[in-house]
Amino acid sequence: MDIGSLGSFVRAQRKQLRLTQLEVAELADVSDRFIRELEKGKSTAEIGKVIEVLGVLGYDLVPVLHRTDPL
């Protein structure tokens, strides 16, 4: 998943929960500007803040192995 897709995902989930950007920002203890930039796919989003936002939306960020060749 690239940052643009992540931003689209966050926006869709926020809207599905009927939360405003400001409400998500307050719940995640980040600025509403951060939420706007994340949803627009800004590539400098801090991972810790992204994790907090995903948590507010009911998701965890976990690593997924995509390798098919043995290590």
* The pair of three-digit structure tokens given for residue 35, joined into one six-digit string: 């939420």
Q: What is the mean pLDDT of residues 23-42?
A: 96
Q: 64 pLDDT band (50/70/90 cuts)?
A: confident
Q: d(Cα 20, Cα 32) in Å, to the nearest integer? A: 9
Q: Is the pLDDT of residue 51 over 90?
A: yes
Mean confidence (pLDDT) of the chain: 93
Cβ(28)–Cβ(21) below 8 Å: no
CA angle (58, 61, 63) in 5-degree steps: 150
pLDDT score, position 68: 78
Q: 71 pLDDT band (50/70/90 cuts)?
A: low
9-18 burial by CB neighbour count: b if 16+ within 10 A, else e? ebbebbeeee
Cβ(3)–Cβ(42) below 8 Å: yes
* The pair of three-digit structure tokens given for residue 49, joined into one six-digit string: 């803040």
Q: What is the mean pLDDT of residues 45-55?
A: 94
Q: What is the pTM of this model?
A: 0.85
